[in-house]
């Protein structure tokens, strides 16, 4: 939280660029859907689209997905770790869910180290395995346990270190955006979920998550709950 004002200046360009890129996007499904309705709703949909789509944040996007789940999480947060198998089970059972991992390290330096490593593993295609290993670290998260999780997940450590350096600015930008979006969603802490249009500020069980996904399918704009 303390760093957020600092993020404002630096993160602005990234956010604006992302926003403008989306704004100008030709293949923006949300824009296509929102041809009617009042102006502020269109803007809000655009913001939601930005939160659901990120050039860097690790994403699992099956073909023909119809619901997007965005998870704001910290590898040291007990409820994020409780949520982890719930998300895994959702992804295993529901082939039409897109999942966006927005790492939001709020538990200090070890969390940020783990988040950076997790994001960096996407460049070697190991995020799913590494994320699972990081979320199931036994005991405390620190440099040693992150390294052990990488070994367990089959992450090439040398490559990871190289990607952490090469892609440092992209990772910085992703973490900044994640913190920004968390603030915009008025999330107080971790975990937080955005299931379609529905915000769930905290952990949820498997049944509840499936119910939320079902709601996002039947009522993708949340009309029924307004």
Partner 1 sequence: MTAQLRALSSRAFLGRCGAALLILLAALPGVISAPAAAQAAHIDASIHAESAAPRPGTTTRIAIRMAPESGWHGYWSNPGDSGLPAEADWTLPNGVEVGALRHPAPALLELAGLASYVHKGAYTLLADLTLDDDIAPGAALPLRVDMSWLACSDTLCVPERASLALQLTAGDGSADSASASLFHAAEAALPQAGAAQADVARDGPDWRFTVTGVRDVTASSARLYPAEDGWFTASSPQHIARTDDGWQITVLHPPIPRRAPFAASLPMAAAAMPLPPVDPLRPSRWPMPRRPRRLRQTPPQRPPSRPLRSLYLPRRFHQPLATIPARYGWRSPVRYWAGCCSI
Residues 74-93 that bind partner 1 (CB under 8 A): 74, 76-79, 81-82, 84-85
33: number of Cβ within 10 Å: 14
Give the whole-angstrom CA distance, residue 214 versus residue 196: 10
What minimum distance in Å lies between the beta carbon of 134 and partner 1?
12
Does residue 173 belong to the site contacting partner 1 (CB under 8 A)? yes
Question: Quick one: which of 30, 28, 176 has its CA closest to 102?
Answer: 176
CA 23 to chain centre: 21
Q: Which are the contacts of 197, defined by CB distance < 8 A and separation ≥ 6?
A: 48, 216, 220, 221, 222
Positions in 109-128 near partner 1 (CB under 8 A): none
3-state secondary structure of 198: strand
**Alpha-carbon span 2 to 117, nearest angstrom:** 22
Counting contacts by CB under 8 A, is residue 204 touching partner 1? yes
Q: Does 222 bind partner 1 (CB under 8 A)?
A: yes
Binding residue for partner 1, selected from 28, 183, 214, 217, defined by CB under 8 A: 183
Query: What is the distance between the alpha carbons of residues 1 and 169, in angstroms, rounded to a whole number?
Result: 20
The residue from 27, 32, 64, 207 that contacts partner 1 (CB under 8 A) is 207
Q: Which is nearer to partner 1, 48 or 116 (CB)?
A: 48
Asked if residue 173 lies in contact with residue 159, where contact means CB atoms within 8 angstroms, the answer is: no
Q: Can residue 197 be called a binding residue for partner 1 (CB under 8 A)?
A: yes
61 binds partner 1 (CB under 8 A): no
Taking CB under 8 A as the rule, does residue 59 contact partner 1? no
Does position 29 bind partner 1 by CB under 8 A? no
Among 20, 61, 154, 165, binds partner 1 (CB under 8 A): 20
Residue 193 corresponds to which tokens in the numbers above?
């979920």
Rule CB under 8 A: is residue 41 a binding residue for partner 1? Answer: yes
Sole binder of partner 1 in the list 60, 128, 164, 199 (CB under 8 A)? 199
* Residues numbered 134-163 forming contacts with partner 1, rule: CB under 8 A: 136, 138-141
Q: 95 in helix, strand or coil?
A: coil
């Amino acid at each position: 939280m303390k760093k957020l004002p600092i993020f404002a200046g630096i993160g602005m360009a990234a956010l604006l660029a992302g926003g403008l890129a989306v704004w100008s996007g030709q293949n923006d499904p949300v824009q296509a859907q929102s041809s009617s309705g009042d102006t502020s709703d269109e803007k809000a949909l655009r913001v939601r689209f930005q939160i659901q789509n990120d050039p860097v944040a690790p994403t699992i996007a099956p073909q023909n997905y119809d619901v997007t789940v965005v998870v704001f999480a910290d590898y040291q947060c007990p409820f994020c770790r409780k949520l982890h198998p719930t998300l895994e089970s959702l992804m295993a059972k529901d082939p039409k869910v897109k999942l966006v991992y927005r790492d939001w390290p709020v538990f200090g330096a070890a969390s940020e180290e783990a988040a950076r490593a997790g994001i960096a593993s996407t460049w070697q295609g190991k995020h799913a395995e590494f994320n699972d290993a990081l979320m199931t670290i036994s005991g405390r998260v620190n440099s040693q346990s992150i390294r052990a999780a990488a070994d367990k997940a089959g992450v090439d450590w040398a490559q990871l270190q190289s990607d952490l350096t090469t892609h440092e600015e992209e990772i910085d930008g992703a973490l900044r955006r994640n913190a920004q979006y968390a603030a915009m969603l008025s999330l107080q802490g971790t975990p937080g979920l955005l299931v379609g249009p529905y915000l769930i500020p905290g952990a949820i069980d498997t049944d509840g998550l499936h119910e939320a996904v079902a709601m996002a399918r039947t009522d993708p704009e949340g009309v029924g709950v307004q």
